[in-house]
Amino acid sequence: MNIPNRKVALACATAALAVTALAGCSSSDDADTSSAAKTLEIVYWNYGPAAESGNKATADAFMAAHSDVKVSLTPVTGENWGTYYANVATLIASGKHPDLMVISGEGAQFVHANNLVQPINAYVEKDPEAKTLVADIAKGLIDGFTVKGDIVTLTYGWNDMVVYYNTDVFKKAGLEPPSADWTWDDFKATAKKLTADTNGDGKPDQYGFTWASNEIFPGIMPWVANAGGNLTSDDVCTATADTPQVNKAVTFLKDLITEGIAPAPMPMSDVFTRFQNGQVAMFGAGRWPIATFLPAGFKAFDIQLYPKGDTYKTVFGGAGYPILKSSGNPDLAWEYQKFTVSDEIEKQYVGTPDKPGDSIPSRRSVAETISKVGVPPANSDLFYHSIDKYPTLVPYPAPAKYSTFESTVLRHLQQIFASETSVSDGLKNMQGELSGIVTC
């Protein structure tokens, strides 16, 4: 053959590059299974740097305590918990067999309904250490992860929905901080006083309150719960979106917009920015905003319970590492799950004033140290008290098709809040659509 060496070398290099690139796309299952006995594969939602560093710190600490175990972390992206579950399902469909995966309360029904998870009831009953740990965890957090009697996982961290308020805006308006026993009327009156036209163009540019338009838990759920309603029946088998209670809650929020006390709803990330620059005086969320606020140097805020409606219920969501049925070593996976609620790991969720945790430790004894350590806000003890002292919204309105459920609710709410349909018609349409989604 008369082919120049340079040409041959170039062709080989090109082919080799292609093969290398494609090899990089292949699964690493073969390598993993050879030492499955001492390897743990963990999938988590990589929602940001905090998720990555938190999961890595837990894995590193576990490996330091168990020198013969290798923990392998697989970050999975997703715009919210729903899309994260979808991406994990894709991962499993492609042949990956994780031992544990991080889930939120909304995912408990999903993993249970899809027969993905190995319940931990037997471990909790037999393991003496587990009994001590469970006794230190609020009952609501255990109930929140129990589906049809099966405990899906222990919760390592959680969030309850509270009202954040900008203390500078309150001072400027001459208002006292809200008290825990405030009512919807008190709330509305306060929000009205906080709404202002600061640039004199005749239209408000500072609003009393807003809520996340892209999630239902920090969005409408606290209002629905405090009106005495829920979006599903107790067995999460039937939609209950057009009840008088849900109507009352949605009408209250709609009126805030109509009366100019709340701006057009916006996604949570936008709410954070508007709150920090004082354009929004109050909003609802869990503990996670402080992981954004404090590193940015913003400390002019505090928290209070949601105002009481016809009742008061704490709306919360947690996260845990359930053991998957695909696990080759469930006993070791259980040790890992237990480790995630150990003192060492739970303290990470307390954090420091400069580097706070982004959720509430599930262990009461650890959570109570947040205010002692001095992590803002000043009213931080409220986080755990809310689940210990008040009734909770159980179950989560989180059917197995949670992603579809949430997007359907949000789609109809968009139309209601944009005044394109009445509250009652909007909820009726929502109920009609949800009846095919919320089933057992």
Residues that bind other proteins (CB under 8 A): 1-3, 7-8, 10-12, 14-15, 17-18, 22, 25, 82-83, 86-87, 89-90, 92-93, 114, 116, 201, 203-205, 207, 213-214, 263-267, 269-270, 273-274, 279-280, 401, 403-404, 407, 410-412, 414-415, 417-418, 420
**Nearer to other proteins among residue 139 and residue 411 (C-beta):** 411
**Nearer to other proteins among residue 151 and residue 257 (C-beta):** 257
**Nearer to other proteins among residue 212 and residue 341 (C-beta):** 212
**Nearer to other proteins among residue 58 and residue 279 (C-beta):** 279
Amino acid letter at 243?
T
Quote the least distance from Cβ 383 to other proteins, whole Å: 29
Quote the least distance from Cβ 91 to other proteins, whole Å: 9
Q: Which of 409, 319, 282, 241 has its CA nearest to residue 50?
A: 319
CA separation for the pair 283, 344 (Å, rounded): 32
- Name 254's bridge partners: none
CA separation for the pair 156, 246 (Å, rounded): 31
Sheet of 316-320: strands edge to edge? Answer: 103-104, 316-320, 155-160, 360-361
CA separation for the pair 194, 279 (Å, rounded): 10
Quote the least distance from Cβ 5 to other proteins, whole Å: 12
- Tokens at residue 263, please? 């701006």
**Nearer to other proteins among residue 385 and residue 412 (C-beta):** 412
Quote the least distance from Cβ 218 to other proteins, whole Å: 16
CA separation for the pair 75, 78 (Å, rounded): 10
* 330: preceding bond cis by omega (within 30 degrees): no
Q: Which of 214, 327, 313 has its CA nearest to residue 270?
A: 214
Quote the least distance from Cβ 83 to other proteins, whole Å: 6
CA separation for the pair 65, 185 (Å, rounded): 53
**Nearer to other proteins among residue 199 and residue 365 (C-beta):** 199
**Nearer to other proteins among residue 200 and residue 297 (C-beta):** 200
**Nearer to other proteins among residue 36 and residue 92 (C-beta):** 92
CA separation for the pair 118, 165 (Å, rounded): 41
CA separation for the pair 381, 298 (Å, rounded): 20
SS3 428: helix
- Tokens at residue 40, please? 């743990």
Q: Answer whether 84's CB lies under 8 Å from 78's CB.
A: yes
Quote the least distance from Cβ 194 to other proteins, whole Å: 14
SS3 56: helix
**Nearer to other proteins among residue 72 and residue 414 (C-beta):** 414
- Write the CA distances from 148 to 151, 356, 359, 362, 432, integer angstroms: 8, 35, 26, 22, 26
Strands (E) across 25-140 are located at 39-45, 70-76, 100-101, 103-104, 117-118
Quote the least distance from Cβ 253 to other proteins, whole Å: 14
CA separation for the pair 433, 427 (Å, rounded): 10
Quote the least distance from Cβ 281 to other proteins, whole Å: 13
Quote the least distance from Cβ 364 to other proteins, whole Å: 35
**Nearer to other proteins among residue 325 and residue 355 (C-beta):** 325
Helix axes 81-93, 402-417, angle to 10 degrees: 150
**Nearer to other proteins among residue 270 and residue 344 (C-beta):** 270
Quote the least distance from Cβ 174 to other proteins, whole Å: 23
Quote the least distance from Cβ 118 to other proteins, whole Å: 15
SS3 185: helix
